[in-house]
Amino acid sequence: MVGAHPSGGYILDELTVGMTAEKTVEMTEQRIQQFADASDDFNPVHMDEAFASKTAYRGRIAHGLLSASFGSAVVGTMLPGAGAIYLSQTLSFERPVRIGDQVTARVTVAAVDMESARVTLKTEGYIGDQFIMGGEAIVRVPRRRRPAKG
């Protein structure tokens, strides 16, 4: 398990297959409301307990992309970190996330392409040891750090 790089981000030469970072975030009412406001997705399965209780989920669930965004936080702040640019992301959702759940987003380096400066990342989400989502991201990573402005 790696932490955030002291510089804010790993460069291409510092990345190796198997490097892993994770972040755990609590799903809260406030996060769901803020995501709905930002995305304009007010689907009642996320926002209205009376409606959601009559669905197959038997209650409100968080937006899938809100849960997936925790993986984006790992990519942008930890592994690879500052300077990484998302190029693509696949996602598969296996279980719902509810208010109060502790979601752990885990990112693992699956492949490094030195020629294109692209890194393939395995992205996963868990509640405890239960797998809730997974996918693959491709990100572009800087080849070198920019010198500090002085």
Q: Is the pLDDT of residue 20 over 80?
A: yes
What the block records as the tokens of 59 is 């209650």
CB of 132 within 8 A of CB of 67? Answer: yes
What the block records as the tokens of 66 is 């809100």
- Banded model confidence at residue 31, pLDDT cuts 50, 70, 90: very high
pLDDT in tens, 47-88: 999 999 999 999 999 999 999 999 999 999 999 999 999 999
In order of 12, 98, 127, the CA distances from 95 in angstroms are: 34, 10, 9
